[in-house]
Amino acid sequence: MRGYVLSIWRLIDPIYYFCSNLKYPPCVKKEDNIFRIKLTKYKGRNIVLSDGTPINKNDTLVKIHLHNVRLLNELKDIKSELKKAKIIYRYVQKSLPGVETYIRKCCTSNEIKGIIGITLLNKGCKRLGFEIFDISHPIYKWFKWFAFLPIGLLTSPNRSIWHIFKHQKPNYLVMSTNKLSNMYDSRGRKSEV
């Protein structure tokens, strides 16, 4: 069943990619990149990041999307949750320099306050430089939880919907452009900060 779902998803993914205006960030090796990105206007509650950067409604951010179909395909035969988490962590770490390069070279780079993603996967995010914030709008939070449910079921087929509901909730992951620039240079190495 998982194989059929992934096959259908692989067929639909290019259409989603085209319709959602996503782009691949620049990177040294395309296979190292797991993100697709786009500029967005922030619609959540006002927040202040640990480096003092305020993120307010309608601020410009780069929204990062994991390339879920590719990731699910690569993780499908791995049973260990720890090993899956390590693979995702490494992919994100290798992909962030491309996001930093994209922002630096963007014609509106001075308007971009940071990067944002929404995920159920929170472990390891702080070590990568992200800060975790709750999604305050209850309807949007439920919508994102339902949107992530198929991914949760495909990556952890032994877990029930109830287990995913109880233990995983969608959160914002946010990082300021200053922190991104300080932590990740454009050559794909994490800087010592």
In a domain, 188, yes or no: no
Would you place residue 188 in the very low, low, confident or very high pLDDT band (cuts 50, 70, 90)? very low
Q: What is the helix (H) or strand (E) element at residue 54, kind and residue range?
A: strand 54-55
- For residues 84 and 193, the model is more confident at 84
| Predicted pLDDT of residue 192 | 43
Instruction: Tell me the backbone φ, ψ of residue 160, rounded to 5 degrees.
Output: -85, 165
Q: Flag whether 190 is in a domain.
A: no
Phi, psi of 130 (to 5 degrees): -85, 155
Tell me if 183 sits within 8 A of 193, measured CB to CB. Answer: yes
pTM exceeds 0.95, yes or no = no
Say if 166 falls within a structural domain. yes
Nearest to 65, CA basis, from 33, 100, 112, 89: 33
Nearest to 159 by CA among 94, 81, 71, 88: 81
Residue that the structure tokens 């309608």 belong to = 58
- Which of 12-16, 77-81, 91-95, 135-139 has the highest average model confidence (pLDDT)? 91-95
Distance CA 97, CA 183 (A): 9
Residue carrying structure tokens 């308007």: 111
Confidence category of residue 49, pLDDT binned at 50, 70, 90: very high
Given 3-state DSSP classes, what are the helix, strand and coil percentages for the chain, each rounded to the nearest 5? 50, 20, 30
Assigned domain for 191 exists: no
Task: Decide if pLDDT at 34 tops 50.
Answer: yes
For residues 72 and 6, is the Cβ–Cβ distance under 8 A?
Answer: yes
Domain count, the chain: 1
What stretches of the chain show up as alpha helix (H) in DSSP?
Answer: 2-19, 68-75, 81-105, 125-128, 138-155, 161-167, 177-183
Pick the more confident residue, 140 or 16.
140
Q: Do 154 and 6 meet the contact criterion of CB atoms below 8 Å apart?
A: yes
108 part of a folded domain: yes
Residue 24 forms part of a structural domain: yes
C-alpha 146/C-alpha 3 separation (Å) is 21
104 token code pair: 């630096």
Tell me the residue range of the domain where 93 lies: 2-183
- The DSSP bridge pattern shows strands 112-119 and 171-176 to be antiparallel
Categorize the per-residue pLDDT at 18 as very low, low, confident or very high, splitting at 50, 70 and 90: confident
